[in-house]
Structure 1
Amino acid sequence: VNIKTLFLSVDASLKEAIKTIELGAAQIALVVDENEVLLGTLTDGDIRRGLLKGYDLQSPVGLVMNKGFCSLSEDFTENRAMQLMNEKDFHQMPVIDSQGRVIRIYLMKELLKPEKFPNFVVIMAGGEGHRLRPLTENCPKPMLKISDKPILEIILEQCIEAGFQNYYFSINYLKEKIINHFQDGSKWGVNIQYLEEKQPLGTAGALSILPVKPKNPLLVLNADVLTRTDFNKLMLFHD
């Protein structure tokens, strides 16, 4: 988070505060002076309470901001910050220097993100789906949709949530439809490469055409199987 996008002056209106909170993606606005010294914090709840007291959207944030805010000194580690935020049930916690100036903000949603893995995920997506004909006559089985989303995309997002960034999709049947949809993975913020089977090779066969021998354990998945398995815990156990 760019901390300066959360800043408001004490004279800013509640309407401006709502826009700052909406665009800042941190669910909070920080009221600072001209030297970026923290004067107060503002959340949706503070604004609602102010409106209930009779203030309007043009009222200055200084009238409703939380002056009794909690903050952390800059020597707090992420682990200590997360422990304190968990104890107090805080979703955000600003960090200030010895002069009271805001230098960053800890967000619980960021602190709780799973560990990122360098390990590759190999997803087998080359099958023809004979048993699902006629649904798979013009659509590869991994691209069949559940709630308007391809099965393969559901699996990908589950893996991303578990902390995986690097993928190989093993493809063969109607491969262009898969490549056109996922491309290099940048839409999801990940790296996707393709293992193109000239003929169906089966699970172990597809692993044989990996361009480099992996140094770390692989996660191998079928593109037509949905599971609630926690892939993060699975990899931590085996890695």
Structure 2
Amino acid sequence: MINKDFQGLLIDKTSSMATALRRMDAVGRKLLIVTDKNLYHSMLSIGDIQRAIINNVDTTSEISTILRANVTVASDSDDIEGIKNHMLKRRNEFMPVVSDSGEIVRVLLWEDLFENGEKIPKRAIDLPVVIMAGGIGSRLRPLTNVLPKALIPIGEKSIIEQIMDSFLEYECREYYLSINHKAEMIKYYFEGLMGRYGSVRYVEETEYLGTAGSIALLKDKIRSPFFVSNCDILVDQDYADILDYHRSQKNEITIVAAMLNMSVPYGVLNTDCKGQLESISEKPELFNPCSRHH
């Protein structure tokens, strides 16, 4: 039940946000244990980093500058049921057990404590979901010569099912599929999934309206906030947290995008506005948000 090999989950408080993101990606977690001289210091979540980026904190900044206060961890005297209840309430994917001296004794992983396969619970949001599935999918040819890109299989399911399943975890049961290319094939496919996703309706483009162009066709059909997703992108984020941010900022639209991490294999010349050489960066690594929440 106890996983003792937790070194990959540790990160020093002087590390940069960019380093923390790379570590999360490497270990497949959205949470890290922050240390100070090899002793427990705090916890860092992907949400902490996202909030910092939204507030224009540079990704080269130390993670010590964005840590939250009063983060709860377990002690040796805590019983397992109490720890499990806390993890259920906070939706933590693991819990470090810390001694009185600050030593990290062990780390209790969600998948080990909940061996019956119980997933980290999601908060219900129950909002409509619009999926843009009308594109030709030219970059996926020759596959899309046969199938619409929404029905390209990823594992045992089509990619659009993977997307809809992720929203089902948040009790979303009202779907609008914007279709055009091979529209009848998509309709026929979902006839075989009748009832699985609640209400599935179609918005048919009579012509190609471009990225998200068909949303205008829904102006008299949806009266609440709603999610929009492409049919070929899988998002591993908490939709409830995204909705909370959208509402708290009173946004008209909130866009979720990825971080761009690019290693330039050449030397880069840094010049001033007149083209005069100021410095040379040898094979720099660029780590910047290519877009942010707006």
TM-score when scaled to structure 1?
0.50
Aligned equivalents of 1:215, 1:158: Cα separation in 2: 23
Is 2:242 the counterpart of 1:234? Answer: yes
Pick one of 224, 228, 242 that aligns with 1:220: 228
Aligned equivalents of 2:171, 2:191: Cα separation in 1: 20
Q: The residue matched to 2:128 in structure 1 has which SS?
A: strand
**Shift in Å, 1:115:** 3.8
Question: Which has more radius of gyration?
Answer: 1
Is 2:194 the counterpart of 1:162? Answer: no
Aligned equivalents of 2:126, 2:193: Cα separation in 1: 15
Aligned equivalents of 1:86, 1:165: Cα separation in 2: 33
Partner of 1:15: none
Partner of 1:134: 142
Partner of 1:191: 199
Aligned equivalents of 2:171, 2:240: Cα separation in 1: 7
Is 2:141 the counterpart of 1:152? Answer: no
Aligned equivalents of 1:191, 1:184: Cα separation in 2: 14
Higher relative helix content? 1
Pick one of 111, 129, 140 that aligns with 1:121: 129
Aligned equivalents of 2:209, 2:243: Cα separation in 1: 26
Aligned 8 A contact 1:185 1:191 in 2: no
Could you report, residue by residue, the CA deviation over 1:172-224 in whole angstroms, capped at 9, with x for unpaired residues?
00112211222396432421111011111123420011162533222111001
Gaps of 5+ in 1: 1-84, 91-108
Cα distance change on mapping 1:143 and 1:234 into 2, 3 Å = same
Gaps of 5+ in 2: 1-79, 86-116, 248-294
Aligned 8 A contact 1:172 1:198 in 2: yes
Letter in 2 for 1:197: E
Aligned 8 A contact 2:179 2:205 in 1: yes
Pick one of 82, 88, 95 that aligns with 1:87: 82
**Shift in Å, 1:133:** 1.4
**Shift in Å, 1:225:** 0.8
Partner of 1:49: none
Partner of 1:201: 209
TM-score when scaled to structure 2?
0.42
- Structure 1 segments, 4+ long, off by >4 Å, are none
CA RMSD of aligned residues (A): 3.0
Aligned equivalents of 2:181, 2:168: Cα separation in 1: 25
Q: The residue matched to 2:174 in structure 1 has which SS?
A: strand
Partner of 2:25: none
Cα distance change on mapping 1:113 and 1:171 into 2, 3 Å = same
Q: The residue matched to 1:238 in structure 2 has which SS?
A: helix
Aligned 8 A contact 2:164 2:197 in 1: no
Aligned equivalents of 1:86, 1:162: Cα separation in 2: 26
Cα distance change on mapping 1:230 and 1:185 into 2, 3 Å = farther
Aligned equivalents of 2:165, 2:126: Cα separation in 1: 16
